[in-house]
Structure 1
Amino acid sequence: MHTVRIPKIINFGKNALSETQFPKNALVVTTAPPEVSSKWLAKMKITDYMLYDKVEPEPSIETVNKVM
């Protein structure tokens, strides 16, 4: 079984990134290239992550299973 946790609170505005606590590990689903994503992950101090950047509209079950 897999569990996906989505934040209950969305922080935004000036200094939101520096004032928000992030987990140390994460599955990051993004359309940004790895060199851009890694800069953001470093700013958020997320050190243990899996980066998935092959996002597709309406993904198939097979695609979802590849990520999990």
Structure 2
Amino acid sequence: LAPVRRLDGQYTTFGKLIKGDDVLDKIGNTPVERNAQGEMSKPTKRVVIESIKIVPADSVK
């Protein structure tokens, strides 16, 4: 995925993907259509994250 410059200063994002690059790519490549505000950002099919794991930062290499 890529940075979205227009969101700078409006949203906070943080985190690190340790594994699951293939899943991130699949989510990022999901086809989208226009949302109610006219932005091309509404997935055409439901995207469900079935599980995540939060780990302490010091446990990540």
TM range (shorter): under 0.3
TM-score using structure 1 length: 0.22
Q: Which has the larger radius of gyration?
A: 2
TM-score using structure 2 length: 0.23
Tell which has more relative contact order, 1 or 2 (C-alpha 8 A, sep 6+): 1
